[in-house]
Chains A and B, each alone.
Chain A
Amino acid sequence: MPESPKAQPRFRDLAIRYGFLVLLLGIVIFFSIMEPAFMSLRSMVFVFQSVSITAILALGVTATLVVDGFDLSIGSVAASSMMAASYSMVIWGFSSVEAVAFCLFLGLAVGLFNGLLVVVARVPDLLATLGTMFLLLGLQLIPTAGRSIAKGMMLPDGSTATGAFDKSFLYLGRHRLWDILPVSVLIMLVLALAIWFFLEFTRWGRVMYAIGSNELASRLAGAPVARYKIAAYMISGVSASIGGILLAARVGRGDVSSGNNLLLDAVAAALIGFAVLGVAKPNAFGTLIGALFVGVLLQGLTMMNAPYYAQDFVKGAVLVVALVFTFSLTRAVRR
């Protein structure tokens, strides 16, 4: 390719900045040609809906990645939140507002616990949140003795549960505004916008990025590092609990095996997000695009009759490509 030495770095810059978005566009066009139904509004909405819960979790994990932390407990926070919503409504007879408040509180509490483990007890982030993950995976099974929660279920003491899922609660997972936009997608978009704004334009977001880039320098610039780190884990916890609420509202029962894949999918989306726009750092916009990227790919492949068991392989491949892109290409240019 004959290119002047001056033009080359600029082309490279552009490739790094927009490469991933162009790739996404290319994939969309490819699937539309192969399968015209792919471009329909219904199919697009389905893509958004399929990634909404993953994306909400991923946005939370992005907040911890920004402060150079990591939250492995999000999947089990979401699952616990789903069980908590189901349990509180079916067994305690909570209203939907009470159940949602209970779940959000749970998410914040777990986030606080993670934050304290990392900041006060000085447990490395991966290990601390791994421990929390295990703890919650077990804890959510204890109240029901390992059974899934549904209306009219038999309780461990032999009686029958009297409560039921509130209608307005199920609305969160099943209703479509104007007959097209699912509530969960709306929540995802609002949350993405909020976290994007928070991280990019507020002073708190700025300080969080500073802490992630150089913790000591941030401390010596007066930042209360411990508080910010705890806050990041609380954002992560509350996002995961929102994901769990939507999951419960979608399936309408407290299923012990749900949410198995949430952790890996969400982490993958956040990491793919590093590569979007070539910024090589966690960012909310990238995370959303990362989640959609995986969703588009899976939707297209499914419509082209690719087998369901190939899904994880495809996600893994996308993640590896994105990571190579982030860590070799972007860094090489920075030097």
Chain B
Amino acid sequence: MSAEKLHEASVSLVLDLEGVEKSFGANKVLQGVDLSIRAGEVVVLMGANGAGKSTLVKIIAGVHAADKGRIELEGKPFQPSTPAAAIRSGVCIVHQSINDGVAPDLSVAQNLLLDRLCNGETELFFRPGRARKQAAAIAAALELDLDLDRPVHELNLADRQLVSISRALAQNPKLLILDEPTSSLSQREAERLFAIIDRLKESGVAILYISHRMSDIRRLADRIISLRDGTITGTFEKPLNYEAAVHAMLGHAIEVTGQQVAQRGEALFCASDIRLKPTSDPFSLVLHRGEIVVLTGLVGTGKSALAECIFGVAKPAAGSFELDGIAFNPTDPGDAIARGVFMVAKDRANSSIIPGFDIAQNLTLPFLTRFSTAGTVRLAREKQSARAMIDALDVVCQSEQDVLSALSGGNQQKVVIARWLSQPSKLLVLDEPFQGVDIRARGDIGTKLRNTSDQRATLVLTAELDEALEIADRILVMSNHTIVGEHLTADLNMDLLMSQISGATAMAPSEIESLQSTYRN
């Protein structure tokens, strides 16, 4: 092959999308997405939760069909009707959840051949010797250094991931899609993955890499594409401007709206020298009565880990909490609740709602002691309280006896929030309270939080900057499991905030302290 021809091949488009649209019901998830990936190129797709990343990937992978738009694979129209068809055409995906990509009870060799087995491309009888030879050939080609006879469940996560990726590569893909592949890998394990990706690039595979981790993106990206609310909000070629990419992902026209003037009270909750992981940097924070503090940062930077420590689900690696001037070390959520620390957990379907219970029963669950006499639940009192909370938060329902699973997502979330607002608290932590909530419900929830905030400290965790700016008095930025910046919403330096979120600049600890001390006075 001549050098010229080689060059031509390396710049040829592998995947080309134009004007792809997709709706689920009234919800327009993708509104005209253009995307192209060349051979031997790593394109990083960035997008916040609900931006449409996974829908886009599912369309390319043949899980969903696009409503509108043109998709071409190597210049030919591409409309895979099933995931298997997409794989046959050379599009392979490694999913975020590692265990989705492997069959844990089978050996490494059998896993490598799994797609062939499932496609019925093998002979009638499974011949272990032959299969092992085939698997060994695949492993050698990919330089996979693992014992082929070991069952996969004996491998650590990183090796499982390698098997999962190798399995995809055994199909000789033209396009490989990696969905947050490093989310459960250590730095060293990730480095191994990057080396494999480098080799694939050289061999001309096109790679679509979905991640929030700035370190991955810096290491790998040839091009960054930011997706927000179903549209491409930015395409960044080399030299890459990471901050602009984060900006494009988080908010198109972020405006600092209603500056709240909080009636700040005394310090209510203090965290001192907290280390969320043994290796992460320590940080401290103080929350005051009456203020709403938003802790923001990309997904997976440790926000939820902090919330879990405060609520007694987990213990920090080091450091101490103080509530109302008294040491606070909750042994479990029940203990935290009894001491007046409430948490609205993220992912309401799994961690908040009792689907079979009605609204009233969901509202009173943590406070049943207060609603019962001699162990018997006072149904009339429960009903009365439920009605008051339904009115207070404008929950759309027929009555307080509606089963929760019959409500819309936004209304379910209102019920969850109402649960924790129904009784007075000292500290209320809300972890991604606006997830999967439409803009109106979001407004209602924000207003209600603000109106009830004067007697407690409120800490809201969110990766979405718009939401943070809407309700915050003060914004803290988390990166790499530590707090790297602090801003008063009233005088916000947006550029600095952005660069802190993307992990580029951390405030020096002394700066934070001075900010905190000016704030205290």
Residues of A with Cβ closer than 8 Å to B? 201-204, 206-207, 209-210, 213-214, 216-224, 281, 334
Q: Are A220 and B357 in contact (CB under 8 A)?
A: no
Q: B357-398 vs A: 1/0 string, CB under 8 Å?
A: 100010001101101100111000000000000000000000
Question: Among the listed B353, B368, B371, B406, which residue makes an inter-chain contact with A217, where contact means beta carbons less than 8 Å apart?
Answer: B353
Q: How far is the CA of A257 from the CA of B344 in the complex (A)?
A: 54
- The answer to whether A206 touches B350 (Cβ under 8 A) is no
Choose, from B332-340, B490-498, B505-513, the stretch at the interface: B332-340
Which residues from chain B contact A224 at a C-beta distance below 8 Å?
Answer: 332, 334
A222 in complex: contacting residue of B337, B351, B371, B376, CB < 8 Å: B337
A221 to B363, CA, bound (A): 10
B499 at the interface (CB under 8 A from A): no
- The 4 nearest A-B residue pairs measured at CB: A222-B334, A203-B368, A222-B337, A221-B366
With A209-B357, A222-B366 in contact, is A201–B376 under 8 Å at CB? yes
Complex Cα distance A222/B334, Å? 4
B350–A223 touching, CB < 8 Å: no
Residues of B within 8 A of A207 (CB): 365, 368
When the two chains form the complex, which single residue of B336, B353, B376 contacts A214, counting CB atoms closer than 8 Å? B353
Question: Interface residues of B, CB < 8 Å — how many?
Answer: 32
A223 — nearest CB in chain B belongs to which residue?
B334
Interface residues of B (CB under 8 A from A): 311, 313, 332-334, 336-338, 343, 345, 350-357, 361, 365-366, 368-369, 371-372, 375-377, 403, 405-406, 419
Given contacts A217-B350, A219-B333, A220-B343, contact A202 B356 (CB under 8 A): no
> Contact: A213 with B368, CB < 8 Å?
no
Instruction: Contact check, B350 vs A216: say whether CB atoms are below 8 A apart.
Output: yes
CA distance A270 to B419 in the complex (A): 33
Nearest chain-A residue to B356 (Cβ)?
A: A213
| Residues A214 and B337 in contact, CB atoms below 8 Å apart | no
The answer on a CB contact under 8 Å between B369 and A203 is: yes
Contact between B405 and A334, CB atoms less than 8 A apart: yes
- Complex Cα gap A334–B419 (Å): 24
Of B345, B355, B361, the contact of A220 (CB 8 Å cutoff): B345
A222 in contact with B333 (CB, 8 Å): yes
Asked if residues A221 and B377 are in contact (CB atoms below 8 Å), the reply is no
Do A206 and B356 have beta carbons less than 8 Å apart?
Answer: no
Complex contact A209–B350 (CB within 8 A): no
Residues of B within 8 A of A223 (CB): 334, 365
Q: How far is the CB of B345 from chain A (nearest CB, A)?
A: 5
Given A210-B354, A334-B403, 11 more contacts at CB 8 Å? Answer: A206-B361, A207-B368, A209-B354, A209-B356, A210-B365, A213-B355, A216-B350, A219-B333, A220-B313, A223-B365, A281-B356
Most chain A C-beta atoms within 10 Å of own C-beta, residue among B337, B351, B371: B351
Do B375 and A214 have beta carbons less than 8 Å apart? Answer: no
Of all chain B residues, the one with the shortest Cβ separation from A200 is B377
Inter-chain contact B333/A220, CB cutoff 8 Å: yes
> Looking across the interface, which residue of chain A has its beta carbon closest to that of B375?
A202
- What B residues does A219 contact at CB under 8 A? 332-333
From A201, A213, A217, A218, B377 is in contact (CB under 8 Å) with A201
Q: Which residues of A contact B343 (CB under 8 A)?
A: 220
Closest to A201 in B: B376
